[in-house]
Amino acid sequence: MVFILVVKSTSKCYDTVTEKYYREAELWQRDECTSCYCGNDRKPECTETTCPPVFCEVPLKIEQRCCPVCPDTIQQGCMYDGQKFLHGDLKLLQDQCTLCKCDNGDWHCARDSCLGSQIHEDRRLI
């Protein structure tokens, strides 16, 4: 009779800040500014984001973002038919001939000779 012993790897890291275990090679976000990695020594390896200096009197801290920003640098998104678009997003209207771009809260549209089939797929279009 032959017995085979199967040993599962239980290489895990314990993060004392999040109070959780993570698998070897797993990545996680400890907080908005700290990313961690479970190395093969079973110790979390964490790096903190270095924020660039801000040059304004009252910098804003935005939820879920690490670095503060000056109020005049926040670019506004746009709404269309109840859907939010980010600054710089493109939207092809239903006529398939009008392309609009969200520009700091305002839509700027141009009608062309039906761009629908020519728009690159990597842009957000509806």
What's residue 126's pLDDT? 41
| pLDDT category of residue 63 using cuts at 50, 70 and 90 | confident
Q: What three-state secondary structure class fits 116?
A: helix
Q: What is the mean pLDDT of residues 76-98?
A: 85
With 70 as the cut, is the pLDDT of residue 82 above it? yes
Positions of E strands within the chain: 12-15, 20-23, 27-31, 34-38, 44-48, 78-80, 83-85, 90-92, 98-103, 106-111
| pLDDT category of residue 23 using cuts at 50, 70 and 90 | very high
